[in-house]
Structure 1
């Protein structure tokens, strides 16, 4: 029990933010403490009060209530209260008495040494958690794959390579043009994630076609933990301040007055687009909003999906193109996404490149001239890459372009690298195709012709929708009992009872009726997924389907099932109907046809004979081979065969007419395929993916996956009161516990399920993927390191080989530059931990035993005994630690010096490379070089000013066995 006296100054151990307290009242079991700094009181049980007595010794600096700082010269005690004889600094003759009741009410105890000497001690576990958090923070900063570890994605080489190449640039401006199915959205998300995590970007605007807004929103949240705010007309209106006519007139007058005084218009501080950092909007919204207001919102990155829809001509650029151009001119970085970079014509391709860099691409005429020579270079690059031996003619062609190089097969890599540097468009454009990317499964289609029920025979004047989806004309599920497709599906489920089956149909009503029929009337284990379900319901349905133990055999989806979801754990796809849009068919198949699919994909199409469904099936399969192979020209094929196709869909087609349609379609498809293969850009393919670098990235990420944060986080959960419940071998359920004092980063009230296994995370959209880059983990590290808990501790060492009473001090220092995140100073000087273990003579014996080995022998010590030890050894502890600061700073100086050398070497090398490359390839912008020079100058100063500070200290007392 502590001896309390009214007027004494005490500090709350659990709420140090309350400031310095003063004992106000006492009775036989309670003590009341007043905290004047926050005008609050606390009442504690005397025998268990979480309070520490605050006293000062000779030489300490104290602060009075009127903010006067004095140095203590003598300490007296009167009736249980301390009276300090103190003087202003440098005025030793001006000594004055300061009773502790007149001390100031605030007390700064942020440093580890202050907390130790003032007996603000944490438990041994808090100390060890803090040190582990420091080490984890430093290890993450030192990682060369920072920004690539956290996303919930498969390790696909070309995607990682593009992200690694683009995200490391200052304000990247590139065209991502991978073929359909190769993951442009993933690449864009990786670039965004890395740029945001490393501080290179903080404000991002994403513009996508209206049907893709939800898909993008979900992809960014699920895969990258990036929470975008969707802006539409309603949200924009809600953000506008309500202003009366009187207020509007007053504002106009004031703006005019300020404009006259300052000679310019005042800044618009009410821009609603400044209210969020990450904004997602549709192209429809873009066409209606105040484009100048949107463009002036200081964007670090603008992302535009389906950029080929931005129509442009020299005489008549479209309004959508001009609006994007307005933003692109002010945004620092720009990502354009399109799967058809050149199929829509050279003019359209130029228009997109012009958005990226108008200085590099000033005119269409100049671009045509450049492209006329470029195809020869691309063809040469392909020959140099593919041919094992180079004949004299090939060598002469290469010499004509690279006269200053030795052209031999032994120098193949350097010759190709130089050719890419001088002529390659990879600085502004990346395009991978299935020709140069391996790992895709085979696709097999199985058509099942079925008789058309009489109830489905409609007049020719029926709308096309009724012919393609006859069941939608029913207002209930009666159609399920008469539709042969349902009977076929029932038999199919029975034949494949051990396989996962994805069923896609166009209408949510069809999906809902079919689900009810199979589940409740046939007793099958089937899940459902459609747009009328909310996001949580869809997640649960997808998770139920993904569960390979107790999950659903099949998932019946409406068309939304073909948008953005990954069901590659299944390899049976049933298309209950067929879409009219070839791109939509490819999207459906793309839910299973993905890199990483381990089985051939079996596509099953039940269709009605002599019906629109048979026309579509044969048109897709026999005409353009769209089921078994991807067809990037599908949309163009549709446009050229639409006039012959659509009449057959709304009538009883003659087979001769279907045969003619199929034959004509095959001719069109072959023609377009030949054109695309002829225009295949080998130079661009080579610059879009360096397989060696891609493989190295995958290896590094695989190693990072093996270093799970879960063991560390489980200790964090225990310390902060988060309830943990085992879900499975690879997952855990987290919920706010009854003793959780404050909100925990990233933990919703309803709880969350997390897994640290990438395969599980890819299969289970309902689970969060825990990595060292997950917001919950990074938020926990910031929370632990931002608090004072764990900065100082006292432990009992049980080791029979160490003499009882031996005193040791473990001091943990950090060296860190206080540079803005966007400079990425941590590439050269990541937060570095310096550990010293001192004996009673001040000798550093840290090499004798590691922190982990020492912690295994350290045990909890009674708090009262801990305080007595610190109080009795205060002078020695302060002397040893202050003397050791000199040695720690010297060690830190060596770390900083090495960081400066590494920074200068890398920055100067990169600067020289960019300048040399710019002389050969104008795709390197002046802004990149200027930014690199400015970054180097800033890094020189900020790394040189890096500080070494004591971040945690533990006093260890040996107790024998």
Structure 2
């Protein structure tokens, strides 16, 4: 029986939240404790009271009842009470009896929980260890920031994201051709910057029509929830000033008081999405004052600029870009609008570097020579003398050998530097695209449209869907859908009224399974329509879209596109086809074009098909062709029966197309293409991501769900349904009340937008890891070892350590000191058996130990356990110091090498500034300070006793 004395301090093992209790009464069978923290008493049977005596040793910090802190120097016992010899912050010494100790106690340290007998089961210990290893593995991943997004593993996108996303405050122009995934590239860069905390305040500016597309893409693909700011949002954020407050303010201002500064509404959120229209009208200074780490501007070619008259939109973006740390500009037409426009985009990235248009023209001419050399290096299997002479002039210190082709190209790219600010991939240098196959459907003009031969959209003359009954395009469409019931068909019309009428006619009057998608639908309704179309089991056969259907949604799973009419602008046609003709499309695309012969629709069809070949290939020169032939097009549309006029238009368009394509090809920058995509590097990234995908968080999350009361129901082979359980004590990270369907399989996630894609980078998974590690449960545990080969009564102690630098994530200290989990398995003699017995192997032989027995084991072995822990922690600190020394050496070597490389390149490449080089000194100082503060700490301990 334990000896109790009035005044002693004890801790309840079952109710630690009560704090330290003080013994106030003792009789033959019972002991009574008062807990000052909650002013409650508890009475326990002396024979089995769940109490632990709180004893503090030299070096521990204690508090008295006044809340003053002291450091324990030594302790002694007098009349069954401990007396603590302590020292305060000023160095003064005094004695504090345990009866005068404060009642607050925080048992977060592993040793404290062990010796106060706050013991958990092996299951909690194992879960904690799994969370530690998961955290380390995630932070040490070579593809950090790339494995979490819901994207296909496409080489050029991953390469750009990796090359740019790891930079500090990147400022680049993403200019891939339409359909190559600039939005995904920007999202991948953004996700890496956010995950590594290089960027915490991010602003995205896009055209109004793309606001919801970006919002949805950021949530679904990258798990980033942006706040859309518009005038209504600003009005809601403005505090309502009462008449009394307004009068007081006006009187104060009349008396000469400075106006009170209003709170900046743009500082209320970290991730903000706005339209270009809103940017043109909002308080620009407030937006600038909000201080952005990263600014993203989509469709940047719409920002009109000339040397003498830059547009208001351009100037606003320029001021915002100048204040932001990082900047991503997205455009599919970097040079097609002219060299001046291209210069204007680059000037937004670096006004000091691109300050003079004439100098830029001269520089581009010089780069052209280097680009031609790069192209010749690739095209010539054996280099001729002329090429070798040019290479010798550009690379005087390199050995010129065809076997070193890749190394020489890398050196050329490095020294020219075009890839530092501009990335441009085209379909010509990226494989993986399907063929476009045109299926024209010429039809006779119906009587109901007589006299409307010049109207591209004659159905708009009807106020309801009556036109569908006699329109041969609708008849053909209905026959086509009946004939091809197994195929998914995307149908696009220019106007929402046409789409609504078609949906009503085909769905309600013909009984077909079709969905509709137009601009008057809210975001949720559009999502449902798109998801219904994407469902191959019970979903719609066809989706009928207005022109908005060619913006913001990708339907690569469909292979048939029906164009019920043709837009007047080539870029809109390219956008329509681009909904299916994108990276990831697995089959050739069938483009069905029903049109009326001897009608304006026929003029548009032949202008696109015979003049531009727009249905069979991408059209990078559409805007220039429209500008050159627009007047002749209007004349031909006004007289569709004039075949000679139409033929002349087509011939003129074809000639213009050939000329423009020739100019684009002659201006093709092979050097830029090489810098925009490294096939070998992207192959390594894909391999690393494929390997990461094989190690999913499924098993770990199942254990977490079980421990925290989340209900799991199997949905399908690769998916589960999660719901809050009846015994869940607190909300689970990322789990809505109505539940959610999740998958850890990438292919399933890519085909099912309605499921969460759980990776080690998903907020639900990282939140689960933080939840486990934030708990004290699992820090100290006991277990019974069942192994006939181990003598009964054998004591083992398993200790888990974590070596982790607490530096700001933006420093990315894990490049040099990855979070490291270290393990020891000690026997009673202090020998480490961890090298021969793994944690998983040991855990499979461990069983739950009775709680009463657990307390007795720890209490009886406390002296030995204290000794083992002290000795092992000293050993681990020495090992950790070796690791820290290696990290410092690696950091110095890599930063010095990169700094020296930039100094050498700066002599040839004006892109590299003194600030780029000096930034490494600041980074070095911050990393050195962070590493100096890093310590190895004990994260968990398990006491194991072999059973009989």
TM-score normalised to structure 1 length: 0.91
Q: SS of the counterpart of 2:889?
A: helix
* Per-residue Cα deviation, 1:333-389 (whole angstroms, up to 9, x for no partner): 111111111111111111111121122222112112222332222212211221111
Distance in 2 (alpha carbons) for counterparts of 1:214 and 1:44? 63
2:591 counterpart residue number: 603
Residues 598 and 640, structure 2, Cα contact 8 Å, conserved in 1 = yes
Structure 1 position 784, deviation (Å): 1.5
Matched, 1:779 2:767: yes
Cα distance in 1, alignment partners of residues 602 and 35 from structure 2: 82
1:761·1:767 contact (CA, 8 Å) conserved in 2? yes
Q: Distance in 2 between matches of 1:279 and 1:321?
A: 20
The corresponding residue for 2:194 is 196
Report what 1:299 is aligned to.
292
How far apart, in 2, do the equivalents of 1:747 and 1:169 lie? 33
The answer to whether the Cα contact below 8 Å between 2:11 and 2:54 also exists between their aligned partners in 1 is no
Deviation string, structure 1 residues 790-815 (Cα, Å, up to 9, x no partner): 11111111111111111111000011
Which residue number corresponds to residue 177 of structure 2? 179
- Corresponding residue to 1:819 among 759, 782, 807: 807
Superposed CA deviations along residues 713-770 of structure 1, whole A, max 9, x for unmatched, are 1111111111111111111111222211111111122222111111121111111211
- Report if aligned partners of 2:13, 2:52 keep a CA contact under 8 Å in 1: no
- Spell out, residue by residue over 1:1-25, the C-alpha distance to the aligned partner (whole angstroms, 9 max, x if none): 9999999867676875664467999
Q: What SS class does the counterpart of residue 426 from structure 1 fall into?
A: helix
Distance in structure 2 (CA, Å) of the matches to 1:457 and 1:723? 65
Q: 1:367 corresponds to which residue?
A: 360
Residues 514-547 of structure 1 deviation map (CA, whole Å, 9 limit, x = unaligned):
3343334333333333334443443333333323
Is the 8 Å Cα contact of residues 210 and 552 (structure 2) preserved in structure 1? no
DSSP 3-state at the match of 1:920: coil
CA contact (8 A) 1:170 1:928 kept: no
Query: Which residue number corresponds to residue 140 of structure 1?
Result: 138
Asked whether the 8 Å contact 1:900–1:944 carries over to 2, the reply is: no
Contact 2:179-2:578 within 8 A present in 1 as well? yes
For the residue of structure 1 that corresponds to 2:907, the secondary structure is: helix
What's the counterpart of residue 889 of structure 1?
877
The structural deviation recorded for 1:63 is 3.0
Q: Does 1:271 align with 2:267?
A: no
Q: 1:487 to 1:800 in 2, by over 3 A?
A: same
| Counterpart check, 1:328 vs 2:346 | no
Provide the residue aligned with 1:263 in structure 2: none
Alpha-carbon distance in structure 2 between the residues aligned to 1:558 and 1:739: 48
Residues 53 and 254 from structure 1, CA distance in 2 versus in 1: closer, same or farther, beyond 3 angstroms?
farther
Partner in structure 2 of residue 720 of structure 1: 708
Partner secondary structure for residue 442 of structure 2:
strand
In structure 2, do the counterparts of structure 1 residues 363 and 869 end up closer, same or farther at CA, with 3 Å as the change threshold? same
Aligned: 1:346 with 2:339 = yes
Q: Work out whether 1:514 is the aligned partner of 2:502.
A: yes
Partner of 1:398: 391
1:407 to 400, 409, 429: 400
Deviations 1:907-956 (A, max 9, x none): 12111111111111111132222222211122122123211000011111
1:44-443 matches, cutoff 5 A = 53=52, 55-56=54-55, 62-68=62-68, 69=70, 73-74=75-76, 83-89=81-87, 97-99=97-99, 103-243=101-241, 244-246=245-247, 248-249=249-250, 270-443=263-436
Closer/same/farther in 2, CA of residues 843 and 195 from structure 1, 3 Å limit: same
Match of 1:555 among 543, 546, 564: 543
Distance in 1 (CA, whole Å) between partners of 2:607 and 2:16 is 75
- How far the C-alpha of 1:46 sits from its partner, in A, is 10
Counterpart check, 1:917 vs 2:915: no
Q: CA deviation at 1:459?
A: 5.4
Q: Does 1:631 align with 2:619?
A: yes
Gaps of 5+ in 2: none
Match of 1:566 in 2: 554
Which stretch shows the higher mean deviation, 585-594 or 802-811? 585-594
Aligned match of 1:802: 790
Superposition deviation, residue 711 in structure 1:
1.2
Shift of 1:147: 0.7
In 2, the alpha carbon distance for the partners of 1:6 and 1:441 equals: 85
- Structure 1 residues 8, 546: closer, same or farther in 2, change over 3 A? farther
Q: Retained in 1: the 8 A contact 2:513–2:540?
A: yes
Report the CA distance between 1:580 and its aligned residue.
2.2
For residues 591 and 52 of structure 1, what CA distance do their matches in structure 2 show?
68
In 2, Cα distance between the equivalents of 1:511 and 1:12?
Answer: 70
Asked if structure 1 preserves the Cα contact closer than 8 Å seen for 2:212 and 2:523, the reply is no
Q: Which residue of 2 aligns with 1:736?
A: 724
Q: For 2:802, what is the secondary structure of its paired residue?
A: strand
- Stretch deviating more after TM superposition (701-710 or 635-644): 635-644
Contact 2:181–2:583 (8 Å) recurs in 1: no
Paired residue for 2:844? Answer: 856
Q: Secondary structure of the equivalent of 1:323?
A: helix
Query: Which consecutive unaligned segments of at least 5 residues does structure 1 have?
Result: 259-265
Partner of 1:496: 484
Query: Which residue is 1:949 aligned to?
Result: 937
Whole-Å separation in 2 of the counterparts to 1:13 and 1:315? 78
Q: Is the 8 A contact 2:13 2:116 kept in 1?
A: no
**1:40/1:640 CA distance change after superposition, 3 Å:** farther
Task: Please tell me whether the aligned partners of residues 10 and 51 of structure 1 are also in contact (alpha carbons under 8 angstroms).
Answer: no
Alpha-carbon displacement from aligned partner over 1:208-263 (angstroms, at most 9, x marks no partner): 111111111111111111111111122223323344444545786999779xxxxx
| Distance (whole Å) between structure 2 residues aligned to residue 254 and residue 857 of structure 1 | 81
- Give the 3 Å change call, closer, same or farther, for CA 619–61 of structure 1 in structure 2: closer
> Which whole-Å CA distance do the structure 2 matches of 1:939 and 1:448 have between them?
67
Distance 1:771 1:616 in 2: 48
Q: 517, 527, 543: which is aligned to 1:539? A: 527
Secondary structure of the residue aligned to 1:389 is coil
Indicate if the aligned counterparts of 1:58 and 1:74 stay in contact, CA closer than 8 A. Answer: no
The question of whether the paired residues in 2 share the 8 Å contact of 1:896 and 1:943 is answered with yes
Following superposition, the deviation at residue 556 of structure 1 comes to 2.6
SS of equivalent residue, structure 1 residue 344: coil
Q: How does 1:691-706 map to 2 (within 5 A)?
A: 691-706=679-694
Moved more, 178-187 or 497-506: 497-506
> Aligned partners of 1:482 and 1:44: how far apart in 2?
91
Counterpart-to-counterpart distance in 2, 1:181 and 1:15: 61
- Cα distance in structure 2, aligned partners of 1:93 and 1:672: 89
CA–CA distance in structure 1, aligned partners of residues 15 and 518 of structure 2: 50
| Partner Cα distance (2:22, 2:645) in 1 | 97
Shift of 1:189: 0.9
Gap change, CA 1:369 and 1:720, over 3 Å in 2:
same
Contact persistence 2:86–2:96 (CA under 8 A)? no
5 Å-filtered alignment, 1:455-466, equals: 455-457=448-450
Deviations 1:265-319 (A, max 9, x none): x9x6722211111111111111112222211221111111111112222221111
Q: 834-843 or 484-493: which moved more?
A: 484-493
Q: Distance between the aligned counterparts of 1:612 and 1:863, measured in 2?
A: 87
**Separation (CA, whole Å) in 2 of partners of 1:12 and 1:184:** 60
Q: 1:94/1:289 Cα in 2 relative to 1: closer, same or farther (>3 Å)?
A: closer
Secondary structure of the structure 2 residue equivalent to 1:847:
coil
C-alpha change, 1:34 and 1:453, in structure 2 (3 Å) is farther
Structure 2: distance between partners of 1:640 and 1:13 = 85
How far is the alpha carbon of 1:436 from its aligned partner?
0.7
Deviation of residue 774 (structure 1)? Answer: 0.8
| Structure 1 contact 305–338 (Cα < 8 Å) conserved | yes
Q: 1:303 to 1:95 in 2, by over 3 A?
A: closer
| Offset, 1:480 | 3.1
Equivalent position SS for 2:465 = coil
Other structure's SS at 1:302 match: strand
